[in-house]
Amino acid sequence: MRYANWAKRIAFVAAIGVMVFSSSLPVVALSAAQKKSLQLGIYYFNKNRNDSLGCSSTDSDIPKGPGGTGPLYGPRFPKISDKAKLIDNIRAYIQDNYPDSGLKDGDNPRWFVQFGEQYDVNPVMLVLVGVKETGLGTDGGVGDPPQHNFWGRRGDGPGGFSSFANYKDSIEEYNKNLRRGLYDDLWAKGDAVTVSDIIFRATPPSDGNDTAAYVAFINATMGKILDGLGSEVLAAITEDPALNSCLGGGGGSVGSVSTAGYAFPVAPQRQSQNSGLPFLSALPCGSGSCHHDGTAAFDIGRQPGSDASAGAPVYAITNGTVDLLHIYDGIAGCFSLQFHSSKDNYWYWYGHLQNPRVTNGQTVKAGTQIAEVGLRKCTGNGSDPHVHIDRGCVEGGVPQKGGRESCRDPGMTPLINSLFNSLPG
């Protein structure tokens, strides 16, 4: 979609990067307004995650939905430490969705991140506006070489559009435009300004633009490219006790989804060896229903799957105490156990185990091997060997033991997703 009003196009690209957000600080200090924004689902989590966690608000004066503001989804350079992963994610997004785009080649994904950091502009937003404007240079016109004008800037070149010697120059110019100060009244809103504010000002529906669809696309896609990044932001916000009631728990330490102090429960500790197995839970899981029974539980094996998963080490997900270790479903050599976390006060239930390395009442630390993935017989139904893990819900403010389909905490989904996303590829 191209803007109906080209003067407003220039205003749009000149406005977004005015606010400054340092990406070098290791700890995020959140204002009261930012914390409230998080609770309302516009700060870090996308809407689906918030719905699964029961986070909501009746306040009508704060915009709802993902992708508007904050240290990850806002118009400034995202608050991340792993810039190499951001470059890889941008390249992978372009390769997977726009394989004919020259922007996937060479250093172009790196220029998005390098210039984004230099000019304090969110490179993911630049990529997505380029998608809407020229299909990232695959529309056969503006974005194609030799113009390299993937964002459709007006100028004196062919067809009335600017030409650039290469995509590097185009990306840098795009960032420079986004740093030029327009729309001061919007930026004066401080932390409350959103990408949506800017886009609705630049491409109003009154000019014939489907602005809502434009915003919805950016909101829905930002999280895909930023997936697995910003764990330091997540750690900072989830350690705040005032937020835990929204983030899946009953107050106190219950409900944290920070990866700090947790361990992914199955070896090996790599994404490529813990996902994509038929009939097991998707990793990461896109909804609150990650188990075949539609609940927030996980069946996790290891690559290459089938019987090879048997014997894989199973780890304590947090610091805590082993309880109710016993024979699973009467099957000789197979075990299940309850695990009471001292980190978050939840009860985690492990099933389909063999060769336990712990005893009832034993206290262990996160990442300690507690058992192995059991043989096929330990699943009770002949499915590929895997470990089942869930955690009990909170009833009357009291965490319940795990293992019951009717009482599974939905916060298990973002926790396992965060742990998985923190693993190396």
CA separation, residue 390 to residues 270, 350, 411 (Å): 21, 7, 10
Predicted pLDDT at 66: 40
User: What is the CB neighbour count within 10 angstroms for residue 58?
Assistant: 5
Segment 123-175, tens digit of pLDDT: 998 899 899 889 999 887 787 777 899 988 888 777 788 889 999 999 999 88
CA gap 403, 424 in Å, rounded = 29
Predicted pLDDT at 279: 83
Predicted pLDDT at 43: 40
C-alpha angle 196-202-203 in degrees, rounded to nearest 5: 85
Predicted pLDDT at 401: 95
CA gap 362, 382 in Å, rounded = 31
- For residue 338, what is the enclosing H or E element? strand 335-341
**Together in a domain, 338 and 417:** yes
Closest CA to 63 of 210, 217, 195, 235: 195
Residue 242 belongs to some domain of the structure? no
Cα 25 off chain centre by:
20
Residue 240 belongs to some domain of the structure? no
CA gap 171, 136 in Å, rounded = 11
Closest CA to 368 of 419, 316, 321: 316
Predicted pLDDT at 45: 36
CA separation, residue 331 to residues 275, 292, 381 (Å): 27, 22, 11
**Together in a domain, 222 and 256:** no
Predicted pLDDT at 183: 62
Predicted pLDDT at 31: 54
Segment 53-87, tens digit of pLDDT: 334 433 333 333 344 566 677 777 887 878 998 99
Q: Kindly state the tokens that stand for 267.
A: 């070896």
331 burial (CB, 10 Å; 0-12 / 13-18 / 19+) is middle
**Together in a domain, 204 and 253:** no
Q: Kindly state the tokens that stand for 261.
A: 């102090």
**Together in a domain, 304 and 337:** yes
CA gap 421, 247 in Å, rounded = 18
Contact 349, 370 (CB under 8 A): no
Give backbone dihedrals phi and psi of 416, rounded to 5 degrees, phi first: -65, -40
**Together in a domain, 124 and 227:** yes
Segment 291-313, tens digit of pLDDT: 988 898 999 998 877 787 899 89
Predicted pLDDT at 394: 87
Closest CA to 424 of 110, 92, 85: 85
**Together in a domain, 348 and 211:** no
Residue 237 belongs to some domain of the structure? no
| Upstream peptide bond of 284 is cis (omega within 30 degrees of 0) | yes
What is the number of structural domains in the chain?
Answer: 2
Residue 94 belongs to some domain of the structure? yes
* Chosen domain end from 181, 205, 232: 232
C-alpha angle 420-424-425 in degrees, rounded to nearest 5: 90
Q: Cα(first)–Cα(last) distance of the chain, in Å?
A: 35
Query: DSSP string of 358-381?
Result: --TT-EE-TT-EEEEEPPGGGGSS
**Together in a domain, 298 and 351:** yes
Predicted pLDDT at 27: 37
**Together in a domain, 159 and 255:** no
pTM to 2 decimal places: 0.48
Residue 239 belongs to some domain of the structure? no
Domain hosting 365: range is 248-421
Residue 1 belongs to some domain of the structure? no
Closest CA to 248 of 236, 256, 258: 256
Residue 76 belongs to some domain of the structure? yes
* Chosen domain end from 204, 232, 260: 232
Predicted pLDDT at 58: 38
**Together in a domain, 78 and 170:** yes
**Together in a domain, 278 and 380:** yes
User: What is the CB neighbour count within 10 angstroms for residue 367?
Assistant: 17
Give backbone dihedrals phi and psi of 298, rounded to 5 degrees, phi first: -130, 135
Predicted pLDDT at 86: 93
**Together in a domain, 217 and 259:** no
What residues of the chain score a pLDDT lower than 50? 1-30, 34, 36-67, 238-257
* Chosen domain end from 232, 261, 294: 232
Predicted pLDDT at 63: 35
Contact 43, 69 (CB under 8 A): yes
Residue 263 belongs to some domain of the structure? yes
**Together in a domain, 193 and 262:** no
